[in-house]
């Protein structure tokens, strides 16, 4: 999905427009995650970019999208750009040192 969302639409409540844009993004993510996974892939990962325009978009993590959208609305931006591209993801095993540090409360 590569889309510019308008936040200030004449005749519409800005809070409802904001919630509708978040809903559209969540529904897109759900729809993409439901697609069949290719062989040898564990999950769908996403390349994400966010900005006021497509030219100013910076890479961001999918989990940060809601906070970024809220920040854009608080700043009074009339619109924002979101780019979400699904890609195959493979889970990586945790390192043994991380597991040992989590089990040892003194560390």
Dump pLDDT digits (tens) for 23-74. 999 999 999 999 999 999 999 999 999 999 999 999 999 999 999 999 999 9
- Residue 60: CB partners within 8 Å, gap ≥ 6? 48, 49, 50, 68
- Of 106, 94, 77, the C-alpha closest to 4 is 77
For residue 90, the enclosing domain spans: 2-103
In total, how many domains does the chain have?
A: 1
Task: State the pTM of this model.
Answer: 0.80
Q: How far is CA 66 from CA 71, 72, 82, 84, in A?
A: 9, 10, 11, 13
């Amino acid at each position: 999905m590569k889309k510019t969302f308008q936040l200030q639409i004449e005749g519409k409540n800005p809070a409802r427009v904001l919630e509708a844009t978040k809903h559209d993004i969540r529904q897109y993510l759900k729809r993409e995650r439901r697609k069949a996974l290719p062989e040898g892939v564990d999950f769908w990962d996403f390349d994400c970019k966010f900005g006021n325009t497509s030219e100013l978009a910076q890479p961001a993590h999918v989990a940060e999208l809601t906070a970024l959208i809220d920040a854009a609305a608080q700043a009074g931006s009339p619109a924002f750009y979101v780019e979400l591209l699904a890609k195959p993801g493979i889970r990586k095993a945790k390192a043994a040192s991380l597991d040992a540090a989590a089990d040892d409360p003194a560390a």
